[in-house]
Amino acid sequence: MLVCLIIIITIEITQYITYLGSADIDDVILNQISCMIGYIFYLIYIKIKNSQLKWTV
C-alpha cells in the first residue's frame, strides 16, 4: 500500500512540476482507494487459488 501511495504522489508531483495534467488531491485519494480494492481482489484470488490446490492433491 505504501509503494502504491509513493507512486501516486510521485506522479502528481511530476504533473505539478511539468504543468502536464492537473495535480489534484482527489486523484491521490481515488487512486489509493483503487489500489486497496485491487489488493483485496488479489488476496481473494490467492486464497481461492490456494484452496483449489488443496483439493487437487
Task: Name which of 32, 23, 47, 22 is nearest 1 in CA terms.
Answer: 32
- Domain spans, the chain: 2-56
| Position 44 confidence tier, pLDDT thresholds 50, 70, 90 | very high
* pLDDT tens by residue, 24-42: 889 899 999 999 999 999 9
Q: What is the pLDDT of residue 56?
A: 55
Answering whether pTM is above 0.75, one says: no
pLDDT at 57 > cutoff 90: no
pLDDT at 6 > cutoff 70: yes
pLDDT at 21 > cutoff 60: yes
b/e map 14-27, b = 16+ CB within 10 Å: eeeeeeeeebeeeb
